[in-house]
Amino acid sequence: MSQWWQRRSLRARLAAWYAVAGTAICAAGFTAALLEGVWRPGDRSHLWLALAVGGAAALLLFGLAGYFIAGHALAPVKEMVERTRRLSARSLNERLPVVNPHDELGELATVFNQTLQQLENSFAELKRFTADVSHELRTPLTAIRAVGEVACRERNPAILYDALGSILEEVRRMNQLIDRLLLLARADDDNVPVRLEAWLVRSALLEVSDALALVAQDKQQRLELDCPDHLLAVFDPGLLRLALLNLIQNAIRYSPPAKPITLRAFRREDAVVIEVADQGPGIAPEHRQKIFERFYRVDKARSRAEGGAGLGLAIVKWSVERMGGTVELKSEVGCGSAFRLRLRPVSP
Amino acid sequence: MRVLIIEDDEKTARAIASGLEAGGFSAAVAHTGEEGFFLLNAEPFDLVVLDWMLPGRDGIEILRTLRARGSRTPVLLLTARDAVEDRVLGLESGADDYLVKPFAFAELLARIRSLLRRASPAEALKKTVADLMVDLEARRVSRAGRPIDLTPREFDLLAYLLRQPGQVVTREMLAREVWGEANRITPLDNVIDVHIAHLRRKVDEGQAAKLIHTVRGVGFVLREEACG
């Protein structure tokens, strides 16, 4: 019984209390009036007295019930106010106490705590992101500074020229990093215009594979294209090219020489699927979830040496989602990885 | 050719001015919109390099006033804003070209030359550099009389280098002009490097005088003399 009582909302409890008290007083008054009537028929003055006493008692009872129930139910508010006051960006791990999860205040506290949790997560994300960005920017800056300072003491023009070249290379790297970050930052508010229309998938794939054929060939790799001639899908050619160039260059980079890379497209009932598959080392399960996150790298030392900042797949994911599609990874360690883009089909 | 540079960052302005002077232009610098406007009224210029964000009157305002007064001096707008709407606003306000900061100086120079060249007669259809002969119409290439077989992409690449003789060409310029890629973040560096390597093998291998040179950190250049 007490448990049932606890699970009601504040409103229901007050209403229940009032109903019980009201019924009791009515019954008492009615009984009194009835008894009076039997006792002294004709004399109504006692009836009025009974009503007056009953009314006063009712008011008193209602007031007391309201006072205690509301007081009990609202007791956590003080604590909530206190804790909310202490909240700041620095102490987002604070949570409000949930005294009774079933009443209004409990619900409020629960929702507030969920919001706090989300805020805490985004703050943590932002913090991590800022740390990653600073690190990525500091790496080329360190190189620029070191090369520049050493070059200052140099008198040999050939070495000076070389130092300048090396500084400019790092500047280019920073430039590209900032361009990518800007794209992703803008992506967050979805302001980048897209041109979603029906296009031939094959010509988009051919364009990308033509551009990369020579790069693959230099690694004795082959790009195999398998796509029906008249397959249509809804996409933005620039965004799809961006996604595919990133994916195929990754495949070329991370799979060993002489292993083919397949570029396949086919129609499924609800989507057009484009698959980029390699026979590289594959991606271990613990990385698969995180691989689309910004700055996430499976092999930190290696990909940085090759100039990557860990933004390629984040850009792939963003560009595919911007076209209303999805991207997923299927991978088996030792056998290879396959990235599958699902795009909106053109209804026949 | 006199170029006016209206740019509030002194370092950038000075670097552009001395780069242009080294490229055979004469350059004047203004650091604020008012100063630039005053100079434009006082002396004639063949081209204006205009920064968008300026203290006082901003670049767009100056551009609009200039155009409203009927001036046709070519204006190249420099800006850190690269959203499409900004680009459109810039061009609609009367800019002839638009370059996003940070830019490669080689690209600025190429754009300035091309703006100044716009009125000039059509280019020759056959070009030569040292003993390299390129027929742009028939798409044929030969070196010292011996024909070289190029893929279409390699030919476009060589033709683009050839149109900027002796000028450094950046990877961004190649991505945009040869591969038609408008988006700066599309990763084509690798692709460009590999194509350059193949082109170089076909054009320069076994030759005493190398023609295609890499300028480290900047890009590539087609010219006769050897250079680091």
First to last CA, chain B: 30
pLDDT at res. A246: 92
Specify if A143 maps to a domain. Answer: no
User: Are the CB atoms for B169 and B106 separated by under 8 Å?
Assistant: yes
pLDDT above 70 (res A308)? no
| Structure-block tokens of residue B110 | 């190429």
Check CB contact of A193 with chain B, cutoff 8 Å.
Answer: yes
Specify if A32 maps to a domain. Answer: yes
Specify if A156 maps to a domain. Answer: no
Query: Of A44, A64, A86, which residue constitutes the final position of a domain?
Result: A86
Cα–Cα distance for residue pair A312/A330, rounded to 1 Å:
17
pLDDT above 80 (res B199)? yes
pLDDT above 50 (res B227)? no
User: Are the CB atoms for A25 and A58 separated by under 8 Å?
Assistant: yes
User: Are the CB atoms for B16 and B49 separated by under 8 Å?
Assistant: yes
Task: Give the domains, in start order, of chain B with CATH numbers.
Answer: 2-117 (3.40.50.2300), 126-222 (1.10.10.10)
Q: Hunting for tokens 């195929």 — which residue is that?
A: A248
pLDDT at res. A303: 56
Specify if A50 maps to a domain. Answer: yes
Does A202 share its domain with A324?
Answer: yes
Specify if A102 maps to a domain. Answer: no
Cα–Cα distance for residue pair B58/B53, rounded to 1 Å:
5
Check CB contact of B218 with chain A, cutoff 8 Å.
Answer: yes
User: Virtual CA dihedral for B105, B110, B115, B116, nearest 10 degrees?
Assistant: 100
pLDDT above 80 (res A48)? no
The model's pLDDT over B62-93, given as tens digits with 9 standing for 90+, comes to: 899 888 888 888 999 998 877 777 888 888 88
Q: Which domain holds residue A32?
A: 2-86
Cα–Cα distance for residue pair A163/A149, rounded to 1 Å:
10
Q: How confident is the model at residue A107 (pLDDT cuts 50, 70, 90)?
A: confident
pLDDT at res. A223: 92
The proportion of chain A whose per-residue pLDDT surpasses 90, expressed as a percent, equals 25
CB hemisphere CA count around B153 (13 angstroms):
19
pLDDT at res. A291: 87
Residues of B in contact with A245 (CB under 8 A): 186-188
Helix count (H) and strand count (E) of chain B? Answer: 8, 12
- Answer yes or no: do A169 and B179 touch at CB < 8 A: no
Specify if A100 maps to a domain. Answer: no
Query: Of A47, A67, A86, which residue constitutes the final position of a domain?
Result: A86
pLDDT at res. A228: 93
pLDDT at res. B20: 92
Query: Of A28, A57, A86, which residue constitutes the final position of a domain?
Result: A86
Rounded alpha-carbon distances, angstroms, from residue B40 to B19, B26, B66: 21, 15, 9
Determine if the peptide bond prior to A228 is cis (ω within 30°): no
Write the CATH number for A221. 3.30.565.10
Specify if A108 maps to a domain. Answer: no
Total of domains in chain A: 2
Specify if A142 maps to a domain. Answer: no
Q: How confident is the model at residue A42 (pLDDT cuts 50, 70, 90)?
A: low
pLDDT at res. B49: 94
Q: Return the closest-CA partner of residue A238 out of B200, B219, B15, B180.
A: B180
Check CB contact of B152 with chain A, cutoff 8 Å.
Answer: no
Q: How far is B216 from chain A (nearest CA, A)?
A: 5
Q: Hunting for tokens 């504040």 — which residue is that?
A: A10
- Answer yes or no: do B217 and A164 touch at CB < 8 A: yes
Give the residue, B178 or A85, on which the prediction is more confident: B178
Does A216 share its domain with A80?
Answer: no
pLDDT at res. B228: 42
Give the residue, A73 or A329, on which the prediction is more confident: A329
Query: DSSP alpha helices (H): ranges in B79-134?
Result: 84-92, 105-117
Q: Return the closest-CA partner of residue B130 out of B157, B162, B106.
A: B162
pLDDT above 60 (res A304)? no
Cα–Cα distance for residue pair B208/A48, rounded to 1 Å:
126
User: Are the CB atoms for A145 and A165 separated by under 8 Å?
Assistant: no
